[in-house]
Amino acid sequence: MTWPQAFKRIPAASWAQRPVGSFALHYDTVENHGWYANLEPTVEQLDSFLQAGQTLIDYSGGTGILTERLLQRWGNRDQNILIVDSSPKFLRLALDKFESDPRVAFRRIRFLRDEKRLQHLHEVVPTSLRESGVHALVSTNAIHLYNQLEQTASSWYQVLRPGSRIFIQSGNIDHPGRNADEWIIDDTVHHLHRTAVDIVRSGAYEAYRHHLDDEKRMAAYDALRHKYFLPVRPSSHYINSLQQVGFVDLQTTTSRIEAHRNDWADFLCAYHEGVLGWIGGVEKIEGTPPTDQAVQDRISLLRTALSQVFENRKTFFCCWTYITGRRP
């Protein structure tokens, strides 16, 4: 299947002209981490459902980690994938990886400042593509970040053709059937924060101890952490939202995924401002950036606290939730 004649795989946008950034390159290394085995069931689901020549939207597709695994599975199979994401940095790296593959296209969801919202999918997918048919949509490791889930799902519904399917998964959905020893992955951040507070109160990292008594300042960093790592919501929240906009045949399954503590620590270090920003401060709250020493202390404390959270175990188990559904 080829793209519609009027459809441009690579839009004439400023993000597509920029050099690849270091943050995107660092983030892309997570595909080598053990917990990215969470993509394997999704690859199997998509491979079983999609027919050659059909089109898939990889929503919140980021740097193309899922797309890369799908293309490896499919070989030379004719299968169109449209990567959609709000991050120009991530999309630029995805473009660098797949620019020469005519099966992969790219679209950015922009933030509309006047309306204080991100664009919806139907606002960035052109009519020509919708008319030719979008057969499936996948969203991996991202749905827990959507603040306006019903509006997002409604836009998915508008773009998908009748009979198409959605494939959603996340390690940050609370499923009632999960085992007692299985973590919701972002919930580890809140345990890490509490452990770090205890470590500082006990006498370590003395230069930062007085900040713990500044309730207003600590509340600001609590709010910042919750922006990076949203409170975990139950699977019923997602099922109800999808049902409200018209999706049917909704089913959930779970998978037990083993994660390596050091891999997770490496990932969290990329977001150290959101995890333990109160160590040394962050510019958006304090008005000045932290010192190099403060950042080093923050990362050192992050790793120490995470080790204590998992009682020095090298690995831990997560519960990944998978949701599938159909547009009637």
**Residues 166 and 197 both lie in one domain:** no
Query: Does 236 fall in a domain?
Result: no
Predicted local distance difference test score (pLDDT) of residue 20: 86
How far apart, in whole angstroms, are the C-alpha atoms of residue 263 and residue 37?
A: 13
Whether the pLDDT of residue 281 is over 80: the answer is yes
Q: Are 21 and 134 contained in the same domain?
A: yes
- Residue 19 has a pLDDT of 84
pLDDT on residue 28: 64
Tell me the average pLDDT across 42-69: 96
Residues 118 and 29 in one domain: yes
pLDDT band at 40 (very low <50, low <70, confident <90, very high): very high
Structure tokens at 100: 């020469």
Whether residue 164 sits in one domain with residue 28: yes
Residue range(s) defining the domain that contains residue 196: 182-226+263-309
Confidence check: pLDDT of 51 > 90 = yes
Q: What percent of the chain has pLDDT over 90?
A: 84
pLDDT band (50, 70, 90) for residue 186: confident
- What lies within 8 Å, CB to CB, of 273 at 6+ separation is 224, 228, 282
Task: Indicate if the pLDDT at residue 2 is higher than 90.
Answer: no
Task: For residues 155 and 204, state if they share a domain.
Answer: no
Spatial neighbors of 265 by CB under 8 A, at least 6 apart, are: 302, 303, 306
Asked whether residue 90 falls in the same domain as residue 126, the answer is yes
Asked whether residue 197 is assigned to any structural domain, the reply reads yes
Count CB atoms within 10 A of the CB of residue 128: 13
Boundary residue ending a domain (129, 146, 170): 170
- Based on the fold, state whether residues 41 and 155 are members of the same structural domain: yes
Average pLDDT over residues 65-73: 96
Average pLDDT, the chain: 94
Tell me, yes or no, whether 287 lies in a domain.
Answer: yes
Res. 29: pLDDT tops 90: no
Do 148 and 47 share a structural domain? yes
Q: Are residues 222 and 274 in the same domain?
A: yes
pLDDT category, 1, cuts 50, 70, 90?
low
**Matching residue, tokens 């080790």:** 307
Are residues 189 and 305 both part of a single domain? yes
Q: Give the model's confidence band at 97: pLDDT under 50 very low, under 70 low, under 90 confident, else very high.
A: very high
| Structural domain count, the chain | 2
Identify the pLDDT of residue 34: 80
Which pLDDT belongs to residue 61? 97
Question: Which region among 29-33, 129-133, 235-239 has the lowest average model confidence (pLDDT)?
Answer: 29-33
